[in-house]
Structure 1
Amino acid sequence: MNRDAAIKSIDLALSQRGFARYRQRPATYSWKGRLSISGTSVPVILEVVDFDFTRFPEISLDEPNAGPIIPHVRNDDGSICYLDRNAIVLDRYNPGGTVLQCLEAAERVLDKGRRGKLRADFEREFNAYLGGRYGYVDLPDGSSVAHLNMVMLQKDKEVPVVTVPKGLSSAIAGLHFRNGGKPINPIICPVITVNGPLTVTGSVNWPPCNVGEIASWLAALHPGLDTEFWNSMASTQTDVRGCLLRSTNGILAALMDVPLSYRTEEFLKNRPEALTRLMHSRPDEFKVNCFSFERLDPAYVYERNLGGMSPLAGKKLIVVGCGTIGGYLAHQLAQMGAGSGGGRMLLVDSDTLSAGNLGRHLLGIPYLGAFKAQAVRDHIMANLPGLNVDAVTCDVLSIIPALESGDLVVDATGAEAVSIAINHHMVTARPKAPPVLHVWLLGNGAAAQAFLNLGAGRACFKCLKPELAGQSRIGMLKEGVGTNLAMMQGCANSVYVPYASTASVQAAALGARMVMDWATGRPGQVQRNIVIDPSLANMRKDSSPSPSQKCPACSGN
């Protein structure tokens, strides 16, 4: 359906509800009408901003500042949040019916809100009603004081980041200075604990704009909170003062700028009590900015997508090989919490990043010539908060006994000789050796395979191919398919195996999934496979191979 036909369909559908084109917005596709809300008639404006309906029609109150705050309605512009954009798909082929569906949803939201049926929604979404001023917080429970740091997270945007005193991470501080930020002078903020959710009651002005409005709101919310607020504003002798309200539904910061006329030694240091009296008697002069916060603590970042505590938290992981598979794998493990909760992830690789690596490696030009292990570690630490990640830039065979210190060793070298050497040491060190996960690619990225060696009584890596020149027990390549090598300039290390970066990512994802299964105590099938190119590799069921009596490493034991 073209746009003209869609507009006719919408015109016809909305006319049935008494809506007409809104001519005061000539450059838009807007209609104005009234909705029936709790026995009253409320004027609203509907604007279609996308006739594919990937973006929902915008519906807003014609009088946004009239009446008390309503859940799911912004107080500044009256816009209504009436449908969850992630939970429903609108029908672009039925534009008339679609806008009526949206109007009905907005009508239900307004009606329930006016009748007080959405109080829980309001409390859950409280931060959305502060007018879009936001920041990030990494503050442990029980903190009595915090530092609010104004950080240049983007070159043209300063955002508050709340931490414990002197707790700003090196990653965020580094980003601040790279974006042209000046030395940070944190604002000391006492933390006020609210035993319950933050919400808005009565007809208070929202969001509050001065110290008087903040105090009035807090007094109505919980008796005594206003006194704690006044005390926090008087607790420092600085030009900018703040406090944090920590509640069951989030954290709010109130920052007050002392007016220029009062920024004197007389008021700030010699007679601070006089400034406090002025705040009480002339609250309109002491303006306040309020900020809501999104959590940035490791527990939230790494547990949010896992539905609970990361099984990798507290674990000691050793990733050997930070090349095309290991780089992606280490980053995926970090995103799932490796190195958090008192744990540690150690990266081991003696190789450096060359120009030839860029086409299929996690890292890019900024790390050219750097040791891969250190560079992957730096990349992770610069982008993910609160992790303990270390790097060793030496040959793994020179420190192979140290692998026994981990809870799990991940061999992502993709080099059969190195994998055999690691396997031999770990078999020899049984039963104290940790499990070892090997991840590799077959052919020119035709398939990805992984194998988890769980220790004594189980198959080891060499059991999969007891004879070096023999057939693998878990082969996947089709008959006649081998590995094509490519040459590059140089003498040593001048041969490499070409394959696309997609193969590396899939192998890394296979390994990461098996690490997570191991961490939850449900390792499942210890040998798993992915076909990447069906023309070169056969499907193979995941399995748990038995030990081989011909294995020269474990002799079937």
Structure 2
Amino acid sequence: MKLRICLLDSFPGCLPHIYLMPWNALGFIPHVREGDGYICFLDPEGVILDRARPAQVVTESLRRTIHLLEAGFGKTNQADFVDEFEAHWSRMPGATWLWSILEPETFVRSVAVVETDNAMPFVAANESALSAYWNGNTVPSPRKIRGAVYLPLEPGTLLIPPRSNGPMWSVAEAREKLLGALSEENRRLATSLIGSRKYTGAQDVIVGLPRPSGGFNLFGVRLPAADGLHPLLSSSSAGAVSPLALLRLERPFLVPRGGADNGLASKRVLLIGCGAVGGHVALELARAGVLELTLVDSDVLHPENTFRHVLGRRYWFIRKAEALKQEIQANLPYVRVRAFTDSIESVTSSGLIDIAAYDIVICALGAPTLELLLNEQLHLASRRVIFTWVDPFGIGGHALLAGNAPGGGGCFSCLYTDPGAADAGIVNRASFAVADPAKPFGRVLTGCGNLHTPYGSLDAVRTASLATRLAIDALTGKEPGNPLRSWKGDPAAYLDAGFELSKRFAASDDQLDRLRYEYRVSACPVCSVDQGRNG
């Protein structure tokens, strides 16, 4: 037995490659790749190597390798085979691949294998699950559906995969290994489920194998039927066992793998405004795990919107809400998006949208007059709402949450209310910009139809991130109050244009955070009743 150490050209910026020669010198052990003997002694992701000490890098790599080989030879790490079972199984010769949107469960059940033209088959609980994967749309046709059975093995099952260069399980071995690892109840369920009819041809069995480190492996076998019985019940050993490898696409696997939160899947979010900020909010909400999203915007994506909008020229002259729906559903499974290409006033008055049905509303309109009206309506409906906007020239961005702490006070109207008066003013007290009616912030390139507030894509992205995180914090219960969160940018271009910064801009980031609830005004015409009741 020998160890071969290979130092790549990029060493010591990468780990050495270490091989066991021959690969099976210690038998079939975890972490040693069959055939070439490559040893996976350390996951390189996140590892920091001291490039100034290459000898120590090699020494430590050898130490870890020897420890791993000793554990394999002494059979003290056999459970690692279970953790790595899917990887081993996928390398089995002749494996047939299936897309899997099957969510592992702890009980035996019937499942469906769905074949469509020119596509790899899917395995799913049923057609409804397939529809959910396709964003709530109809399963593509034509399609052929055949039944299969799902078996959940018991936790702690030590199932050693066959060697990729060795013989596959026999039918009898597969039957013994799978049925023998079921609980007594699941064995009765399996017998009842598959013993009620005659079978011909090969039958697919999907297996859930609990991993010692958490979660499930999913793999499958295709077994030949004999004597009209399901191969799990037949005593026949005739025929070959074919491995089925599953490419996993189920929601509980995909969503957290991308850093999203499965707990957001059932939350319903209404986004009003799909412009530069709202467009990014929509995509980030979906990527965060919000799978029920309604978009409202009557505007069209014009070419001049391109360089600060999340959508590109392929969507020019298409309504932003509909274009975002297409973009999200083309790239992300499971997300159900409804798009309304009319004003929010129209869709609510016509009954197309019931605001009370949403867990949170996000307003990214950049239209304070309409947002003040929405603030009143949402307050009366006791709905959580986030208002978000970018200050001119990207000197800052803001996200305000209201309705999250009923009776706690704080709403969008507070920002437009003079603390020394009972009536609403016209100045946003959160803004870092000082408005001058004689000198508007808007810029015109070709005429009044092209009026816009100057800021860039990075400013929109940063503000959208602020608003999205605030929404997630509210939906997951991490945010208990009604805060005003802000970020500050570079004011140079703004000052060069001759504008004045507000006093709030002088506050440090720490001060802005500590004072995030202090924007509330007791004289606010909308939420003052709540504050008085709790004061």
Q: TM-score normalized by structure 1?
A: 0.73
> 2:250 maps to what in 1?
297
When residues 94 and 234 of structure 1 are mapped into structure 2, their CA distance, relative to the original with a 3 A threshold, is farther
Which residue, 474, 480, 492 being the options, matches 1:518?
474
CA distance in 2, matches of 1:81, 1:121: 12
Deviations 1:528-548 (A, max 9, x none): 111132545544513113543
When residues 473 and 125 of structure 1 are mapped into structure 2, their CA distance, relative to the original with a 3 A threshold, is same
Higher-RCO chain (CA-CA 8 Å, sequence separation at least 6): 2
> 2:386 maps to what in 1?
437
When residues 232 and 151 of structure 1 are mapped into structure 2, their CA distance, relative to the original with a 3 A threshold, is same
Q: Give yes or no for the alignment of 1:89 onto 2:48.
A: yes
Q: Give yes or no for the alignment of 1:507 onto 2:472.
A: no
> 1:389 maps to what in 2?
337
Aligned counterparts, 1:349-360, within 5 A: 349-360=297-308
Which residue, 355, 368, 376 being the options, matches 1:403?
355
Q: How big is the shift at 1:476?
A: 2.2
CA distance in 1, matches of 2:198, 2:164: 24
- Contact 2:203/2:231 (CA < 8 Å) preserved in 1? no
Deviations 1:141-191 (A, max 9, x none): 246122334689xx9xx65542123246458669xxxxxx99554553221
CA distance in 1, matches of 2:522, 2:196: 78
- Contact 1:210/1:288 (CA < 8 Å) preserved in 2? no
CA distance in 1, matches of 2:281, 2:517: 22
Structure 1 unaligned spans of 5+: 1-41, 175-180, 259-266
When residues 197 and 187 of structure 1 are mapped into structure 2, their CA distance, relative to the original with a 3 A threshold, is farther
Q: How big is the shift at 1:298?
A: 2.6
Q: How big is the shift at 1:83?
A: 1.0
> 2:242 maps to what in 1?
288
- Contact 1:194/1:246 (CA < 8 Å) preserved in 2? yes
Q: How big is the shift at 1:360?
A: 2.0
Which residue, 373, 381, 388 being the options, matches 2:321?
373
Aligned counterparts, 1:468-547, within 5 A: 470-477=426-433, 484-489=441-446, 492=449, 494-523=450-479, 524=481, 526-533=483-490, 535=492, 538=506, 539=508, 541-542=512-513, 543-547=516-520
Q: Give yes or no for the alignment of 1:461 onto 2:412.
A: yes
- Contact 2:301/2:316 (CA < 8 Å) preserved in 1? yes
Aligned counterparts, 1:31-180, within 5 A: 42-132=1-91, 135-139=99-103, 141=105, 142=107, 144-149=109-114, 161-167=122-128, 169=130
Amino acid at match of 1:411: C
CA distance in 2, matches of 1:347, 1:243: 41
Deviations 1:359-405 (A, max 9, x none): 22222333333222222223223333333332222101224564343
The farther-off stretch of 405-414 and 59-68 is 59-68
Q: How big is the shift at 1:103?
A: 1.7
1:45 match: secondary structure: strand
1:528 match: secondary structure: strand
Q: How big is the shift at 1:513?
A: 1.3
Amino acid at match of 1:148: V
Amino acid at match of 1:119: Q
When residues 116 and 127 of structure 1 are mapped into structure 2, their CA distance, relative to the original with a 3 A threshold, is same
Aligned length: 481
CA distance in 1, matches of 2:319, 2:82: 49
> 2:375 maps to what in 1?
423
CA distance in 1, matches of 2:43, 2:197: 43
When residues 81 and 182 of structure 1 are mapped into structure 2, their CA distance, relative to the original with a 3 A threshold, is farther
CA distance in 1, matches of 2:218, 2:448: 62
CA distance in 2, matches of 1:207, 1:485: 67
Deviations 1:49-92 (A, max 9, x none): 34254543221222124453212222343221101222421223
Q: How big is the shift at 1:469?
A: 7.0
> 2:396 maps to what in 1?
447
RMSD (Å) for aligned C-alpha atoms:
4.1
Q: How big is the shift at 1:207?
A: 4.0
Amino acid at match of 2:330: A
1:244 match: secondary structure: strand
Q: TM-score normalized by structure 2?
A: 0.76
Percent identity of equivalent pairs: 25
1:138 match: secondary structure: coil
When residues 350 and 143 of structure 1 are mapped into structure 2, their CA distance, relative to the original with a 3 A threshold, is farther
